[in-house]
Chains A and B, each alone.
Chain A
């Protein structure tokens, strides 16, 4: 197991370097002139200035030179200072956010994390529960219904589902509203009387003992969380179901039954335990799905996370914001996948003991 984990850790830097190359490579579909615009806040009208920027930042140099400059930054000829450099945390200036990309990311990420965390709970709970129950009732009505629901959830376009929720619960019934907080509270949380410890509204409101704000933020979370859940639960359900079905056919299950163990014990101690090991790997996929899902969900529900910001950046071709966002989510997922792989190795005796 130790060898496996060390191998995973050794691969990590390779993947991270690959991720940066891929992101920077995508940028190359733009020409030097278009890319020169990324380095200035007011686009120069004079063509000489564009040329000057291209030479100054080496935008006409070979790919690997530009990539290196992008990673570690360039030395400004006039001041002798090092500017830029993704590795130094300088992701450039966000046009849509009107502040440095890194600041926007850090300010908006807690809201997204909060949304994803709230969605993760029902996704994993329901996915495992329905999936296991469907497998135990293989080909019975419960299984058939679960299967059709999974296909439906899988086929439902996120944005259509989100808009339908808005249609019914906002426009028609006015039970829930889009956004993160109601108007009166969204001003209040910015006042000095309210300390933002984590920038996650459901946690901050509790820490400030403001239960009215807590309930309000929950009310705003219901629609986006439901949307993410409906889309993501199908995958977990399917995998739990097939994993359970596979374990149910194993010899040790027959042995356990032959020994005369009560059926409940066979299911819970033998089948369920082993079947849930591969499900852990799906938790990583679910996180990836949620991080992708928030782009649409946050946009439709006008939720102030990094997803809605990324969508806005992509629409207005705010390149630096897009790249910063891509880098941020990619690093997040690479680390999450590593944790999942290590957990899998620890939990699965077949890997652990090899």
Chain B
């Protein structure tokens, strides 16, 4: 893999291979590896689709108060407003009687010029939770879970993987055994049990599932980074830096980790999507979140009481289900494209 710190790169696969060429402005600003990555991502149709999807979800999360205004100012926005308590779900476009949004925003008026009152755009679940509200505000929960869990697991994994890969010996041996112990649990099983045990401690909130996903999620990063560090630390520029008397911490932070991190980027991107699926699966089972919390898994879980008549109440599954699928798909498309860009074996071949 080309080092970010190397001043020049060969143009891969080109006829003038072997000749040096001028750096573009992008490469000067970001370094050649990052420049190539950025270029690859914005030119691949799959990753562009992924980016568009994620940007749309980000917009939904940011503008949630306009897309689905809460019933009043005192309302906790993450709690889905409920229109009464009746068990039977209401189909899309049915009347909204109680706890309807406090304002009728401009976009809503413009789409339905005659509508001055809110309707349940996507229907309601049993217990009359508004699905539209849950889907829109659920984007915030999704981003929260993805970012917090992915950040924490990456950090933990990088620390453990770096220590194991860089120092080797018994530190490596011990840390890798710990990783192996965590591997003995199917990811969702471990997370399910820990989240359930954490619920009395934290109360019903986003934290039990988030923490459980972190505790059982870091091992993949550690294993991968350890392997990548093992190969990176033997590279000439690291040996040169070491020979010139660089300290361990300097070697690690300046040379080894930044260059060993690229394959981890793929994992981060794929995990952003996977985390939300696991988080939603836990809340679908009824672990962690309080009832009525704006989360896609939670909304889908209301369909469980209507198995016999699901075809009639399809909207409880379809709308939040599509949100989950597209969110996961977005990150996976980006991750898949990143893998192709970063795979050294595919480098220089026509994509």
Chain A contacts to B: CB under 8 angstroms: 11, 14-15, 18-19, 21-22, 26-27, 29-30, 34, 139, 147, 151-152, 154-160, 163-164, 166-168, 170-172, 178, 245-246, 249, 288-289, 291-293, 295-296, 299-300, 310-311, 314-315, 317, 319, 322-323, 325-326, 329-331, 333-334, 337
- Tell whether, in the assembled complex, residue A315 and residue B287 are in contact, meaning their CB atoms are under 8 Å apart: yes
Given the interface pairs A167-B317, A178-B307, A315-B196, the reply to whether A157 lies near B277 with Cβ below 8 Å is yes
B190-201: contact bitstring with A at CB < 8 Å (1 yes, 0 no)? 101111111111
Q: Do A295 and B189 touch (CB < 8 A)?
A: yes
5 additional A-B residue pairs with CB within 8 Å, beyond A29-B198, A159-B297, A337-B184: A18-B177, A21-B181, A22-B185, A155-B332, A300-B304
A178 to B297, CA, bound (A): 21
Min CB gap A62→B, angstroms: 20
Q: Which residues of A contact B325 (CB under 8 A)?
A: 155-157, 160
Chain A residues with CB under 8 A of B194: 26, 29
Pick the contact of A292: B189, B287, B309, B333 (CB < 8 A).
Answer: B189
Do residues B188 and A330 form an inter-chain contact, with CB atoms below 8 A? no
Q: Which of B190-221 contact A (CB under 8 A)?
A: 190, 192-201
A160: min CB distance to chain B, Å: 4
Q: Tell me if B240 is interfacial: C-beta within 8 Å of chain A.
A: no
Contact: A160 with B321, CB < 8 Å? yes
Given A163-B317, A167-B314, A310-B189, do A330 and B307 touch, yes or no (CB 8 Å)? no
Task: Name the interface residues of B142-191: CB closer than 8 Å to any CB of A.
Answer: 177-178, 180-190
Could you show 20 A-B contacts with beta carbons less than 8 Å apart? A19-B184, A26-B194, A157-B297, A157-B300, A164-B321, A170-B310, A292-B187, A295-B192, A296-B284, A314-B287, A315-B285, A322-B196, A325-B189, A329-B185, A329-B189, A330-B185, A333-B185, A333-B186, A337-B183, A337-B184
B287 surroundings in chain A (CB, below 8 A): 314-315
Contact of A151 with B332 at beta-carbon distance under 8 Å, contacts A19-B184, A34-B200 already known: yes
Q: A22 — which chain B residues lie within 8 A by C-beta?
A: 181-182, 185
Name B285's closest neighbour in chain A (CB-CB): A311
The answer to whether B197 and A160 touch across the interface, beta carbons within 8 angstroms, is: no
Q: Tell whether, in the assembled complex, residue A151 and residue B182 are in contact, meaning their CB atoms are under 8 Å apart.
A: no
Residue contact A163 to B300, C-beta cutoff 8 Å: yes
Q: Which of A160, A249, A288, A299 contacts B345 (CB 8 A)?
A: A249
Name the residue on A nearest B327 (C-beta). Answer: A155
| Contact status B329-A152, CB under 8 Å | yes
User: Are B310's CB and A163's CB within 8 A?
Assistant: yes
Whether A299 contacts B196 in the complex (CB less than 8 A), given A15-B181, A29-B201, A171-B310, comes out as no
Give the shortest distance, in Å, between A293 (CB) and chain B (any CB). 8
The answer to whether A167 and B310 touch across the interface, beta carbons within 8 angstroms, is yes
Contact B321–A157 (Cβ < 8 Å): yes
Report B-chain residues with C-beta under 8 Å of the C-beta of A158: 277, 281
Give chain B interface residues in 287-322, CB to chain A under 8 Å: 287, 297, 300-301, 303-304, 307-312, 314, 317, 321
**Nearest CB to that of A291 among chain B residues?**
B186
Docked Cα-Cα span, A219 to B325, in Å, equals 28
Q: With A26-B193, A27-B197, A170-B307 as given contacts, are A292 and B188 in contact (CB-CB < 8 Å)?
A: yes
Distance in Å: Cβ of A342 to nearest Cβ of chain B: 15
B41 → A minimal CB distance (Å): 15
Within 8 A of A (CB), among B320-338: 321, 324-325, 328-329, 332-333, 336
What residue in chain A is nearest B296 (Cβ atoms)? A157
Which B residue's beta carbon lies closest to that of A329? Answer: B189
Q: Does B273 contact A (CB under 8 A)?
A: yes
B286 within 8 Å of A by Cβ?
A: yes
| Contact (Cβ within 8 A) A15 B321 | no
A44 → B minimal CB distance (Å) = 18
Q: How far is the CA of A107 from the CA of B304 in the complex (A)?
A: 25
Q: Is the Cβ of B196 less than 8 Å from the Cβ of A151?
A: no
Specify which of A152, A300, A314 lies most central, judged by the most chain B CB atoms within 10 Å of its CB: A314
Are A157 and B281 touching (Cβ within 8 A)?
yes
Are A171's CB and B317's CB within 8 A?
Answer: no
The 5 A-B pairs at the shortest CB distance, nearest first, are namely A292-B186, A18-B181, A155-B328, A160-B321, A314-B196
Q: Which among A11, A34, A164, A331 is the interface contact of B177 at CB below 8 angstroms?
A: A11
Give the residue of B201, B307, B324 whose beta carbon is less than 8 angstroms from that of A171: B307
Given contacts A26-B193, A26-B197, A311-B285, contact A166 B185 (CB under 8 A): no
B280 beta carbon closer than 8 Å to chain A: yes
Task: Considering the complex, give the chain A residue whose CB is closest to the CB of B173.
Answer: A11
Q: In whole Å, how far is B283's beta carbon from the nearest beta carbon of chain A?
A: 10
| A311 partner residues in chain B, CB cutoff 8 A | 192, 285
Q: A300-B304, A314-B285 are in contact. Are A167 and B196 (CB under 8 A)?
A: no
How far is A329 from B345 in the complex, measured between Cα atoms in Å?
37
Given contacts A151-B332, A157-B281, A300-B304, contact A323 B193 (CB under 8 A): yes
For residue B182, which residue of chain A has the nearest CB? A22
Known: A157-B281, A311-B192. A19 touches B345 (CB 8 A): no
Instruction: Give the complex CA separation of A163 and B322 in angstroms.
Output: 13
Interface string of B232-263 (1 = CB under 8 A from A): 00000000000000000000000000000000
Asked if residues A329 and B186 are in contact (CB atoms below 8 Å), the reply is yes
Residues of B within 8 A of A18 (CB): 177-178, 180-181
* B185 nearest CB across to chain A (Å): 6
Whether A317 lies near B317 (C-beta < 8 A) is: no
| Alpha-carbon gap, A104 to B300, bound state (A) | 29
Chain A: which residue is nearest B335 at the CB level?
A151
CB neighbours (8 Å) of B307 from chain A are 166, 170-171, 178
Q: How far is A291 from B189 in the complex, measured between Cα atoms in Å?
A: 8
Residues from chain A with a CB closer than 8 A to the CB of B183 are 288, 333, 337
CB-CB nearest in chain B for A16: B184
Chain A nearest Cβ from B48, distance in angstroms: 14
Q: How far is the CA of A314 from the CA of B178 in the complex (A)?
A: 25
